[in-house]
Amino acid sequence: MTAMARPATARRPPSGAAVGMAVQVPERASEPGWLKAARQRAATWVDAHGFPTTKHEDWRYTKLDAVLAVPLAAPPEGAAEDGQASLSSGDLPAPHLGGSRVVVVNGWIVPELSAIGVALPGGVRVESLASALQADDGRLEQSWARHVGGYPHALRALNDAAVCDAVVIDLPPGAVVEDPIEVVFVSLPASEASWWHPRLVVVAGAGSSATLVETYLSVPGGPSVTNAVTQVHLGAGAQLAHYVLQGERRDSLHFSSLEARLGPASRLSSRLLATGGRIGRHEVDVVLAGEGADVELDGLFLVGAGQHHDNPVLVDHAAPGCTSRQLYKGVVSGDGHGVFNGHLVVRPGADGTDAAQVNKNLLLSEQAEVDTRPRLEINADDVACSHGAAVGQLDPDALFYLRARGVPEREARVVLVSGFAHEILERFGSGAIRQRAEELATAAGLIVLDEDGHPGGIATCAATGSRRGGLSQ
């Protein structure tokens, strides 16, 4: 009768649309048996369950039609080489963040463009899937085994089935990596529209600490689907500062999932700046599995004309004494559509949980739309949980205040929008990562003001949603 044992309702497997196309599992003789079996298992799951539709609660606001129109071809090994000639390290975002850089083009690591192993202390490994499989100690197998009981939806399963390459980062216990480890995912136009399934696996041993930056970019061309999965396992007391900068071109379709499992007293901060793609969906699944773990999730999504961004964020308090904070902000202009789909679960026995979930959205045009769904699911009584959501336009009183002091309307709007976004942007620190975030935000039409209220050099109007985008920012 009671629903106590029920897991988070939001991740019920969908009874979805027919796949309509066969999932191709890459055949690679060099891969170990367990990986072949895992790929097959995932492909079978997709065939059996199909893709989610808007009837599925978690996909209520995101249609996959445009995505499923792209043929599910498995990118051949070396597909990246086609367009690689046109790409040089000068096209990649500058400045280099100073640490290790891995460049993944169309799902494959390109060593020529990367600087793997720079500024890494002893024992820390950053490597490709093939290389990690050679030294495999069973940890990668666990990574593929996480959804044995069923996937939350077909896209995650698809990544398991069809992943081409993976970036595997291994931090031994106690390792401290000072400089950010950077992974740049680039979509190049291929001869035909394709799906890429990049994968990033971070295993952080007890007491280790690192900074990880993911940047997603694309070169104009045909539509492509990026279906990325990032997995993070934090051991006891490990700390990871994680940043995602998503700025693909407007013809791209972007899906990414962060799956994090936090051990006792570990700490994860994950910050997202999302501006790119026709469709962008940035899933976050965090399980607070060890006592006293702490997670901070921040997101800023700048959604302009013709864009759709969905942010499903699931925080699962499975252990006592954990803390979680979420702050997601959306700025939506043109006929853009922004979605926040937060879900906070407190399991029975997770006493002492302290959780807060906040989503605020700014609508800048008549055609813009925001849907927000901040959900709480609480099965323990000794908790303090709160959530809040707000949707509105720029505060007319604040606009009036500025105009009464002689600030022209357009500038006043810029000040207010910039101030709204600033709360998230300032969480990108003060160095090169912040600079890159501000550049991306600027390219998306947001005028980022500096401390003195001066725009950072580029004058586009925040309200028009006009943007330059692309690689050469």
Partner 1 sequence: MSAARAELADLAGREYAYGFSTDLDTDFAPRGLSEDVIRLISAKKGEPDWLLDWRLGAYRHWCTLAEPTWQNVTHPPIDYDDIIYYAAPKKNAALSSMDEVDPEVRAMFDKLGISLAEQERLSGVAVDAVVDSVSVATTFQARLAEAGVIFCSFSQAVRDHPDLVRAYLGSVVPYRDNFFAALNSAVFTDGSFCYVPEGVVCPMELSTYFRINAAGTGQFERTLIVAERGARVSYLEGCTAPMRDEHQLHAAVVELVALDDATIKYSTVQNWYPGDAEGNGGVYNFVTKRGRAAGARSKISWTQVETGSAITWKYPGVVLQGDGSVGEFYSVAVSAGHQQADTGTKMIHIGKDTKSTIVSKAISTGHGQNTYRGLVKMLRSATGARNHTRCDSLLIGPDCGAHTFPYVEVKHPTCQVEHEATTSKVSDDQLFYARQRGIPEEEATSMIVNGFCREVFRELPMEFAVEAQRLLSVSLEGAVG
Which residues of this chain interact with partner 1, rule CB under 8 A? 1-4, 6, 9, 57, 348-349, 351, 361, 363-393
Q: Is 384 left (phi over 0), alpha (psi -120 to 50) or beta?
A: beta
Nearer to partner 1 by C-beta: 227 or 361? 361
Beta pairing partners, 254: 226, 280
Nearer to partner 1 by C-beta: 291 or 371? 371
CB of residue 325 to partner 1, shortest distance in Å: 15
Nearer to partner 1 by C-beta: 167 or 331? 331
- The answer to whether residues 318 and 443 touch, using CB atoms and an 8 Å cutoff, is no
Using the CB atoms, write b or e for 366-396: b if 16+ within 10 Å. eebbbebbbbebbbbeebebeeebebeebee
CB of residue 378 to partner 1, shortest distance in Å: 5
Phi, psi of 39 (to 5 degrees): -60, -45
Nearer to partner 1 by C-beta: 310 or 377? 377
CB of residue 353 to partner 1, shortest distance in Å: 10
3-state secondary structure of 457: coil
Q: How far is CA 288 from CA 292, 324, 468, in A?
A: 8, 9, 39
- The answer to whether residues 428 and 273 touch, using CB atoms and an 8 Å cutoff, is yes
Nearer to partner 1 by C-beta: 134 or 386? 386
CB of residue 245 to partner 1, shortest distance in Å: 27
Longest dimension (CA), the chain: 72
CB of residue 6 to partner 1, shortest distance in Å: 8
CB of residue 16 to partner 1, shortest distance in Å: 15
- The answer to whether residues 195 and 227 touch, using CB atoms and an 8 Å cutoff, is yes
Nearer to partner 1 by C-beta: 6 or 139? 6
Instruction: Identify which of 240, 231, 323 has the alpha carbon closest to the alpha carbon of residue 284.
Output: 231
Nearer to partner 1 by C-beta: 74 or 394? 394
CB of residue 396 to partner 1, shortest distance in Å: 9
Q: How far is CA 23 from CA 39, 46, 47, 75, 217, in A?
A: 10, 8, 7, 12, 25
